[in-house]
Structure 1
Amino acid sequence: MGATPPGAADGSGPENPEAADGRKRKLRRPLAALVTVLLLLFVLPWWTLFASGADWPFPVVLVGTVVFAVTLLVFPLLAVRGHGRRRDDRASRIADTTLGVVWVLFVWSVLGNLVRLVLLAAGVADPDRSRIVVAAIVVISAVLLAWGHFEAMRTPRVARLDVTVPRLGRGLDGTRVVLLADTHYGPIDRADWSARVAEAVNGLDADVLCHAGDIADGTPDMRREQAAPLGTMRSRLAKIYVTGNHEYFGEAQGWLDLMGELGWEPLHNRHVVVERGGDRLVLAGVDDVTAASSGLAGHRTDLDGALAGADPELPVLLMAHQPKYVDRAADAGIDLMLSGHTHGGQMWPFNFLVRLDQPVVHGLSRHGARTQLYTSRGTGFWGPPFRIFAPSEITLITLRSA
């Protein structure tokens, strides 16, 4: 056998050229996909608005082209600066808003070009045909963006529903569970919004208060002021919290610690039991499904650990951030699982893309013989400060015994 090349065993020596080429090829694929998506998002609206036959004066076409080209070039730089290591909130605000605007223009450009075909079949000629389409796209996009921003920034409406849990004891009939999810405190300072949410929650007279993860985008130190009103929220029996995937972008353990300081019970793969009227209910929680890949010691999704020591005859309310975990919950015979993560799609028609990854986008659903799942549209928003046909919510679930 030949001698081992220096550094080959510990990775400190010269890199294998084949391995390096393999890594480069793996990086090229997602990069090529990202570039393709960006070009599609920007080029289709530009072509529809300025180059599809509306016959605008040359200065209009020139200005529109320059605006789209500069935005396309600057957007990735702002996104990296805002959401990368620097965490520049100003860059994030600009990039996120830009993404929302471009998404709406892209969606309505697609629909507008379908209308163009209808007008063509009806005998409407250019430039009138294209100008009608452009006018409709601009007006509809402007209205939706203004309305969507209002919906994102307003105090969420309360979504109310009764859920019958057959194994629930009569002493717990009428238990009021208030669910928050995806507050996503972030680059836009929403401390006042957070205070309004706390006031709304306290008006619901909760027995159990839940936060299903994705508290914030950023570290606890960056978002402490926005998160502070969580400490003023009240409940009779318990305030419980589990991590979402975004906690693992910004110090998940720090968020668990801060929520503990604010008076919440972090259910880090564990459970608590509450009692009323002589009957008991298990409240369990698991880390997000991305926890294991975060590299944080002790962070993983562990339902067996969460239920360890719990009486198997008692009903179980489980919090797991992502609805996709419901299959595992159903296998374990969980009675009710609460999730968030989807935002209800946040900006239509993104909900159809979310559905490719998650079994449910919003609402109450049944899985297996026993398990029910409620998926919240979320209390805040992520990224683009818009909610279009996917309103935010604070959820009031009243538990009913059979």
Structure 2
Amino acid sequence: MRRPSPSDLSKRAALKMAALGLVTAPALAAPAAAEDGAGGAGGGSLGAKMGAANAKPGPRTVPGREIPVPVATVSEPLAKQIAAPYRSPAWNANPPDAAAWKELVDRLATLTAAPVPGLRDRLGVSSEAAVIGGVKCSVIQPRTLPEANRNRLLLHIHGGGYVYNPGEAGTLEAVLMAGIGGFKVVSVDYRMPPDAPYPAAMDDAAAVWKAMLGMQAPDRMAVFGTSTGGGMTLALMLRAKQDKLALPAAMGLGTPWSDMTETGDTYKTNEWLDNVLVSYSGYLTPAAKLYADGRDLRDPQLSPIYGDFAGLPPTLLVSGTRDLFLSNTVRTHRKLRAAGIDADLHVFEGMSHAQYLAAPDSPETKEVFTEMAGFFGRRLKG
């Protein structure tokens, strides 16, 4: 049997994209002759231009590109997320005052929370409001808790750039972990700016963790979160060490915002490719300033990558090949490993930032939470 050629695979991918409604008919036409001729980019005028532009040490110059949706290597639900336009107005929001921030946050929270009750129903998950350590929380668990997890408890810290996802909007990830992973989860509804900048969010997370230490043994607990939630999870571990509190048996870090200083390769290589965060010059810069409230962004409680990772719990990390925070995740993984911490890194094909949360019915999302639940299950005492 003849092995498919690259052109055969390209045609199949184009047909699949058309079937999904991700491209229009002209994309299926035979490609026009390339500027650089039949020899490929390395042998024609484009190759010569790029060779000349990169002939000396320094920043890398690349040509303008159109990056196709990787439909041959991802599921259909994820492909639709990858092909989606930038999320407006969330990605580049910069409200002029506190009132405008609150209006935007409330409007987006309503949209984000809308599908959560239906997702709970599909996954067989319940949610109850609670106050733990003086902080508003949601206790989320499967209606039938697996025997192996009956004495286990997870703390969830939601993402949203320190400004988004108050209330039910912040529980989406906890619902997925409870439904797919089979754990009881406490999701903390921490205070956020503009009313409550740093250290309010960390104070709330620390208060909940301290209270949970009276509810369950630390070797039966884990802490997890995505994006801001991942960064706060790391910062909470550093704070707990400083306060001489017990640490959990494991952590789960989804594409953590571990460095607020825009330091890392993929802040540039994945800029404009990531269709969730898009660019650090979008809402991330004003959100970081709003949260930090004038403090040095290299403070380990703001950018935990600059803290001491010695003694932290075993950690599973998740990112994607298009994630603006891929370097954050990779650097955190390498620093954990350098500190002697058992750390696993999972990088998913085609994913932008935290895109597994945007496609909750995709196989990739199930895989993320199955991997994390398995990681916790192997490390938490039963």
Same fold, TM exceeding 0.5?
Answer: no
Q: Which structure ranks higher in relative contact order (CA pairs < 8 Å, sequence separation ≥ 6)? A: 1
Please tell me whether Structure 1 or Structure 2 has the larger radius of gyration of its CA atoms.
1
TM-score, L = length of structure 2: 0.35
Per the normalisation by structure 1, the TM-score is 0.34
> Which protein is richer in helix relative to its size?
1
